[in-house]
Amino acid sequence: MHNEGDADLVVLGGGLAGLTFAWEAGHRGRQVSILECQPQVGGLARTLVFNGYRFDLGGHRFVSAWPEVTQWVQEVMADDLVSVVRRSRIHLGGRYVDYPLQFPNAFTAFSFPQAIRILASYLYASLRRNDQPDISFEDWVVRRFGRGLYDIYFRPYTEKVWGIPCAELSADWASQRIQLPSLTAAVRSSLFRQQSPPATLVSRFLYPTLGIGSLPERIVAQAQATGRVTLHLNSTVERLEPDGRAWRVYYRQDGQESTIAGRQVISTIPLDTLVRALPLGDGVAELSRALAYRGIICVLLAVDGPRISQDTWTYFPDHRLIFGRIHEPVNWSRLMAPPGKTSLCLEIFSSEGDGVWQETDERLVDCALADLNRLRLLTPDRVEAAWVTRVTHAYPIYRVGYARVLRQARELIARWPTLHLLGRTGEFEYLNMDAVILRALRLADRLADDR
């Protein structure tokens, strides 16, 4: 077994959380080693490059309500960012309408009987509203928007994303993601522009000219330039052992077993993986299974000719279509495809091991092309090449009851004060990039004097 020696801080995972932490800790004079299983950094926020086409794994826009985080990103990127207008639409009943829905225009997307049902069920829900706690996503939405809008608008897309009934999805997810508290508030916000709209409704965002992956790439390059941060790629963490006052981390690098010791460990790898890697005793398999993540499969298409749409994202709730969301990278930055060409990233929501996950790449591409053709968005003859990438841990699944399981996992881990959870994947918390960056900077700050 190869022994890498000792580090002060060992960071598991080289996504935004791990890299930002290493950047700040390195600048504060700490020795940091990062272990990342992929051949490149960035995790969910990486950009893949094929034949001159650049693809995020689902477009990543940067917005933040924390000015210090925006300033930090601008400094790291040396202002190599473009400001992009957000224009997202959803395909409902054969038509494209603004997403999130803009009322009262949104009513043109519904048939007359649907519009009546939406209004009547909203009135009914408003009259029946009481203080009972919301358990599921379904409870939360039906009480605030009525069953009509839930059935027609909220349920189809949400169930496509998560692959479980909305009655099994926790109300926490709705309260974090749906930022307008009722249909009346949605109408009011559409009619009168808010001074500081919630992040999900912001109409402009920042984007690196060469894709979101250039943010983690610059972070790690600047961290390494301190001379204190070491990056190990293709290094999969398999086991952690408390070793006196330190940790011994076992990982596999290019097939070879290796080990490194560290005084503190910062884990940004999936929580289910971490739980299995720790000496936690019985019940761990069950706990790990309960901390489930939803995956995505990205079908990436190189396309000849002009732009396909003007949208930032387009959403497709229809269950007969294989993809749930698409984006055209040149609408984010012109440099994302070679001149005269464009491209598409199609997101298929799926979980590791399920039926769609196990389809061959060829079949996924064929289905996606057939659906695009049916929608009259793109004919297959324009497609010059296609690639498929699978991401296992894209979204922590907030199933009803997840909070208890999460608390149990955190309590077990808290017995080791030198092991820290960090980031969206590591903390099992639905965080956007700005929150991940903020938490990473704060954790490095908190540990700064703890040598």
Ligand X SMILES: Cc1cc2nc3c(=O)[nH]c(=O)nc-3n(C[C@H](O)[C@H](O)[C@H](O)COP(=O)(O)OP(=O)(O)OC[C@H]3O[C@@H](n4cnc5c(N)ncnc54)[C@H](O)[C@@H]3O)c2cc1C
Cβ proximity to ligand X, 12 vs 444, nearer residue: 12
CB of 155 to ligand X, least distance (A): 20
Cβ proximity to ligand X, 152 vs 219, nearer residue: 219
Cβ proximity to ligand X, 231 vs 296, nearer residue: 296
Contact 196, 204 (CB under 8 A): no
Rg (CA), the chain: 23
Cβ proximity to ligand X, 182 vs 253, nearer residue: 253
Cβ proximity to ligand X, 110 vs 332, nearer residue: 332
Cβ proximity to ligand X, 290 vs 436, nearer residue: 436
CB of 17 to ligand X, least distance (A): 3
CB of 182 to ligand X, least distance (A): 25
CB of 212 to ligand X, least distance (A): 8
Contact 17, 180 (CB under 8 A): no
CB of 435 to ligand X, least distance (A): 7
Residues that bind ligand X (CB under 6 A): 12-18, 35-38, 43-45, 57-58, 60-61, 236-237, 268-270, 273, 296, 393-394, 423-426, 431-434, 436
Cβ proximity to ligand X, 142 vs 215, nearer residue: 215
Cβ proximity to ligand X, 72 vs 145, nearer residue: 72
CB of 35 to ligand X, least distance (A): 5
Cβ proximity to ligand X, 150 vs 207, nearer residue: 207
CB of 215 to ligand X, least distance (A): 9
Q: Count Cβ atoms below 10 Å from residue 165 Cβ, excluding itself.
A: 13
Q: Which amino acid is at 365?
A: V
Contact 93, 109 (CB under 8 A): yes
CB of 408 to ligand X, least distance (A): 21
CB of 153 to ligand X, least distance (A): 21
Cβ proximity to ligand X, 110 vs 247, nearer residue: 247
Contact 160, 351 (CB under 8 A): no
CB of 36 to ligand X, least distance (A): 5
